[in-house]
Structure 1
Amino acid sequence: MIVCSCTGITDRDIHAAVDWMRASDPLTIITPGKVYRALGKSADCGGCMKTFLSTLRGNPNTEVPSQLRGLRRAAQQED
């Protein structure tokens, strides 16, 4: 399915980029900007962002790695 008609990004492109990023760096935080950069593209009009984010969130590899969860809470407790 075409997610972004301005740049020609499909749901498969998004999933492939997410899977590649997670495989290359298991601790990375995956953001829409990183996905665009991995695909060699940039956001244009933003009309696709709702579908783009929904597709991105639908990939289980976008979850924050367990080692990084709760770091903000831990830092606040130290203060």
Structure 2
Amino acid sequence: MIVCHCARIKSSDIQAAVAWMRAADPTALITPGKVYRALGKRPDCGGCVALFVDVLRADQNTGVPPVLRGLRKPADRRRTR
């Protein structure tokens, strides 16, 4: 499926870039900007960004790596004003 007409990016291109990035660094956080750079492209009109993100979310390799899950501390609800 064509995701970005301006840069001629297909969903298979995104999936291949994600797989390559995950193989190169299993702990990397994968963002749309990093995928565009990995493909040597950049968004032009921005109309594809929502679909681009949907393709990334559907890819199981895009998720937060297990070693990085749960690192955020719970919010302190007793903040003083």
Considering the TM-score relative to the shorter chain, is it more than 0.5?
yes
Output the aligned Cα RMSD.
1.4
What letter is aligned with 1:32?
Answer: P
Match of 1:44 in 2: 44
Task: Give, in angstroms, the shift of residue 73 of structure 1.
Answer: 1.4
Q: Distance in 2 between matches of 1:21 and 1:44?
A: 23
Task: Give, in angstroms, the shift of residue 58 of structure 1.
Answer: 0.8
Residue correspondences, number: 76
What letter is aligned with 2:29?
Answer: I
| TM-score between the two structures when normalised by the length of structure 2 | 0.88
Gaps of 5+ in 1: none
Is 2:78 the partner of 1:71? no
Is 2:21 the partner of 1:21? yes
Is 2:58 the partner of 1:58? yes
Task: Give, in angstroms, the shift of residue 43 of structure 1.
Answer: 1.1
Task: Give, in angstroms, the shift of residue 71 of structure 1.
Answer: 1.2
| TM-score between the two structures when normalised by the length of structure 1 | 0.90
Which of the two has greater helix per residue? Answer: 1
% identity of equivalent residues:
61
Deviations 1:8-58 (A, max 9, x none): 000000000000000110000000000000000011111011110111111
What letter is aligned with 2:50?
Answer: K
Flag as ranges the 4+ runs of structure 1 deviating above 3 A: none
What letter is aligned with 2:24?
Answer: S
